[in-house]
Amino acid sequence: MDATSRRNRQLEAVLGAFPDISFVIDRRGRYLEVIGGVDERLYEDGRGLTGHTLHEVLPAETADHFLDVVHRALGSGELQRVEYTLSARQVRSLDNERRRSPRAGTPQWFDGRVLPLPGYEADEPVVLWVAFNVTERKALEEELRRLATTDDLTGLCNRRTALLQLGRLHQRARQGHSRLSVLLLDVDQFKQINDGFGHTAGDRVLSWVARQIEGVIRPGDLIARVGGDEFLIGLPDAGSGAAEEIAARLTQRIRGEALPFEGMDIPVTISVGVATAGVEDVELESVIMRADSALYQAKAAGRDCHRGAAPPGDIRPRPASAG
């Protein structure tokens, strides 16, 4: 074996050992070579793609998109990056056993790097398409996003996310496109529940209250846990009458059911403050403060009820002991 042949075999061995998979694809979208992809946890055997075109093995929309990326890489002479999902079941060149496997229907995320390969001998210009399976990274990113935006106990939005979303709704209302009402509610005598039944029971109560709220509000309404036992509800396209009706239904629903816990029934009630954004409420904080003041009024009225907010400029702060 001469030095050139030996060098070529060594190069083939190196390329074939790549854990990630690469494809040589010509201008017409034909697979000329499949390289690497030896990590069977992340990649199916792609050797069956060789000789086929993108449109012969992939769904038409995906093949059109991939061919456009190939043409952009060849036309610009520059690296193209593309993220996409693909499942083994969508690839028609795989054998039936692989396409029927349990994982075949699960879409995988890929980060594709596509660049021209001018030194490759072929009838048409070609690209090298390197595909990295980034499914685990995407799952981690989604989990981090969930943790950053969601209250872990109830699964609702957290305070930061709620205020961002509510701010957008308030801006829309200020522009005259819709109404906006805000409800603030908390669990009456929540400290006594924690002290009398334990913190596990307290957590159960908060999760249960969250589910009761979800059973009353409308699709598209915003609900969040914004503090210990305090919840916020944003009601787009709802004036004061509709908002107070929802508040009344919430108090009635929760009052009407006791929460079973370890052979006992925990009685739960809530108090609710209602505020509807007006032209004077230039800042969202003004609406929230009025809802908070109305919540205090509901507490002062004996709890287990709702109260509408005072007009802007007539806000009485809630004492720290309002519970």
**Tokens in use for 68?**
């456009």
Cα-Cα-Cα-Cα torsion 71, 77, 81, 87, nearest 10 degrees, comes to 40
**pLDDT value of position 173:** 84
Pairing mode, strands 108-116 and 180-187: unpaired
**pLDDT value of position 215:** 94
Assigned CATH for 3-142:
3.30.450.20
The pTM for the full model equals: 0.65
Q: What is the fold of 150-308?
A: Alpha-Beta Plaits (3.30.70)
Domain limits, CATH 3.30.70.270, in the chain: 150-308
* Block residue for tokens 């507490």: 299
pLDDT over 80 at 5, yes or no? no
**Tokens in use for 72?**
């952009």
pLDDT band at 179; cut points 50, 70, 90: confident
pLDDT over 70 at 94, yes or no? no
Higher pLDDT among residues 247 and 177, named by residue: 247
**pLDDT value of position 228:** 93
Higher pLDDT among residues 262 and 183, named by residue: 183
Average pLDDT over residues 242-263: 93
pLDDT band at 280; cut points 50, 70, 90: confident
Count the Cβ atoms, other than its own, within 10 Å of residue 274.
28
**Amino acid at site 126:** V
pLDDT band at 164; cut points 50, 70, 90: very high
**pLDDT value of position 161:** 93
Measured at the CA of 151, the angle between CA 147 and CA 157, to 5 degrees, comes to 95
Domain limits, CATH 3.30.450.20, in the chain: 3-142
**pLDDT value of position 274:** 97
Query: Could you give phi then psi for residue 247, rounded to 5 degrees?
Result: -60, -40
| Structure confidence by residue, pLDDT tens digits, 191-239 | 999 999 999 999 999 999 999 999 999 999 999 999 999 999 999 999 9
pLDDT over 70 at 162, yes or no? yes
